[in-house]
Amino acid sequence: MGNADLRQLAALEDVPLSSLGGSVVAVDAHNWLYRYLTTTVRFTRSRAYTTSDGEEVANLVGVVQGLPKFFEHDLTPVFVFDGGVTDLKEAEVDERREQRERYEELLAEARESGDAAEISTLESRTQRLTPLIQETTRDLLRHLDVPVVEAPAEGEAQAAYMARQGAVDYVGSEDYDTLLLGAPYTLRQLTSSGDPELMDFEATLAEHDLTWEQLVDVGILCGTDFNEGVPGIGPKTAVKLVREHGDLWGVLDARDAYVEHADLIRELFLDPTVTDDYDFETSLSPDVEAARAYVCEEWEVPNEEVERGFDRIEASAAQTGLDDWV
DNA sequence: CACAGAAA
DNA sequence: TTTCTGTGG
């Protein structure tokens, strides 16, 4: 069960970064940061990202390493941060917090017994976006003049909404949920090297002859962040069944199955809490010196960790100059 | 989440 | 051929 089941249904295509020049990408900040926090930190010494006060600010390194990719290809990122959580999500957050506490207990035990493998697995699972991480990320983005949007609820939903409104050209996220949220075009693998993968919403619907609602129903049958899938139903049979019975209810009746909160989950994807209260400029004037000072002096990150990234940002900023005709 | 191998 | 389960990143 899982969202990755949607991969089998999604209309995907590799696109060269060079073809994306001039476009605007709404990046799901949580998703993007999480990726850096679980890779950047793990393969290096976390000491390098810890201040003398013991605060972990690996996110700053992640931001500095991740942004050049956008700037060098004339892509404008808009970072969308999560707001409050939905009731349904809240239950999940609680569960995750409890689970995290269990992991942290295990982690403490592993450290005592010196089990290195166990320690690293558990560390990856206890990564989380602390308030400090969110705040310092916002501060750094402000120095670099990167637009930030505050979502009322889920950042992904807000990003997808802005894409549907035409305020941005793409949503940037690794998750397949954006498909269920109706994001017209999602760019995946913006964090890794190499060309991104483009996920096309309309093409996906057309390929399987489904409506948006039906695609959401397929997702629910396979399982989403909010529900376990129905046993025995994967992406293939879900599509077949939804087409056969029309919608989720038809399928559930026919299989005598039940999904908790199915109607609410549907709404979360089809009509999520979003806002029109966003506003951003797409021509950026980063203050790289201020950003360097913020990261290296204020947060004591060793210069060599971010020097290369800042140099790249500076170089691409100088090249593009100020596109004040936009 | 991706990928691989087992199970159905 | 599709779904499930485990593992590693």
Asked whether residue A154 is marked as a ligand-binding residue, the answer is: yes
Nucleotide nearest to A222 (CA to C1'): C3
Question: Strand, coil or helix: what is A22?
Answer: coil
Tokens of A174: 């690794």
Nucleotide nearest to A1 (CA to C1'): C4
Domains within chain A, CATH numbers bracketed = 6-204 (3.40.50.1010), 209-271 (1.10.150.20)
Residues 6+ apart with CB under 8 A from A72: A312, A316
Nucleotide nearest to A240 (CA to C1'): C2
User: H or E stretch including A111?
Assistant: helix A87-113
- C-alpha distance from residue A198 to each of A14, A164, A204 (Å): 6, 16, 12
Asked whether residue A271 is marked as a ligand-binding residue, the answer is: no
Nucleotide nearest to A225 (CA to C1'): B1
Nucleotide nearest to A232 (CA to C1'): C3
DSSP string covering A124-184, please?
A: HHH----HHHHHHHHHHHHHTT--EEE-SS-HHHHHHHHHHTTSSSEEE-S-SHHHHTT-S
Q: In Å, what is the separation between the CA of A237 and the C1' of B6? A: 20
Q: In Å, what is the separation between the CA of A231 and the C1' of B8? A: 12
Tokens of A260: 């908790």
A37 vs A147: CA distance, rounded Å = 21
Tokens of A53: 């006060």
Q: Decide: A89 and A226 in contact? Cβ < 8 Å.
A: yes
Phi, psi of A172 (to 5 degrees): -105, 115
Asked whether residue A169 is marked as a ligand-binding residue, the answer is: no
Q: In Å, what is the separation between the CA of A93 and the C1' of B6? A: 33
pLDDT at position A126 is 53
Which of strand C's nucleotides are less than 7 A from any protein C-beta? 1-5, 9
Three-state SS for A44-66 is CCHHHHECCCCCECHHHHHHHHH
Nucleotide nearest to A237 (CA to C1'): C2
Which of strand B's nucleotides are less than 7 A from any protein C-beta? 1-3
Instruction: Specify which residue's alpha carbon is closest to the C1' of nucleotide C8.
Output: A121
Instruction: Specify which residue's alpha carbon is closest to the C1' of nucleotide B1.
Output: A4
Phi, psi of A24 (to 5 degrees): -115, 130
Q: In Å, what is the separation between the CA of A114 and the C1' of B4? A: 30
Q: In Å, what is the separation between the CA of A7 and the C1' of B4? A: 17
- CB within 7 A of nucleic chain B: A 2-4, 7, 174-176, 188
- CB within 7 A of nucleic chain C: A 1, 39, 121, 124-125, 229, 231-238
- pLDDT tens by residue, chain A, 326 residues: 467 899 999 999 999 999 999 999 999 998 899 888 877 665 565 666 777 777 778 899 999 999 999 999 999 999 999 886 666 666 665 665 666 666 667 667 666 666 665 555 555 555 567 788 889 999 999 999 999 999 998 899 999 999 999 999 999 999 999 999 999 999 999 988 889 999 999 999 999 999 999 999 999 999 998 888 999 999 999 999 999 999 999 999 999 999 988 998 999 999 999 999 999 999 889 999 999 999 999 999 999 999 999 999 999 988 765 454 44
